[in-house]
Amino acid sequence: MIKYTIVCKSNHWPVRLKKVNKIIDNILKSKKYLKFRNDIDYECNIILGNNILLKKINFEYRKKNKATDVLTFVSKLNLNKNKKKYCDIFISAEVLKKDAKKNKISFYDHLTHILIHSFLHINGFIHKKIVDFNKMKNIEILILKKNGISNPYIIN
């Protein structure tokens, strides 16, 4: 089971909440590609924040004193047979908006990509090595295509 809660921590998000919910629901239709397991209950908090919040968390946990687009955290519990993953995904509206504009893509297409990327991290995907990066990238491209979004890795 995958359960998510949206937490709005910035005035950049309230007008976007309905669209954000729709995007998440569409992404989760591709849960087999995201490698969500049926034997694990997932509880995800999607915290819609701003640069101030993301900069603070980025410094606290990664010692990087700057805002970033997204940060993903996962904790696991194994309670007898019931396995659970608790996940927090923090997103900055300002960084997403700036990056979308720079890359000439829509804010919502970029948000979709970032959420897919975070869901892959939740399920153990990493991108420190090029081979791992390419695995993640290929899954991202596949799910984006299923959502009518072009490959963000192609530079026009």
Quick: pLDDT tens for 67-87: 999 999 998 766 556 688 899
Q: Mean pLDDT over residues 104-119, rounded?
A: 95
pTM of the predicted model, to two decimals? 0.91
pLDDT of residue 18: 95
pLDDT of residue 79: 57
pLDDT of residue 81: 64
Q: Mean pLDDT over residues 81-106, rounded?
A: 91
pLDDT of residue 80: 59
Residue 137's contacts (CB-CB under 8 Å, 6 or more residues apart) are: 153
Q: What single letter denotes the amino acid at residue 34?
A: L
Residue 48 near residue 87, CB atoms below 8 Å? no
pLDDT above 70 coverage of the chain, percent: 94
Domains and CATH numbers, the chain: 2-146 (3.40.390.30)
pLDDT of residue 25: 94
β-bridge pairing 2-8 and 40-49? parallel
pLDDT of residue 77: 66
Mean pLDDT over the full length of the chain: 91
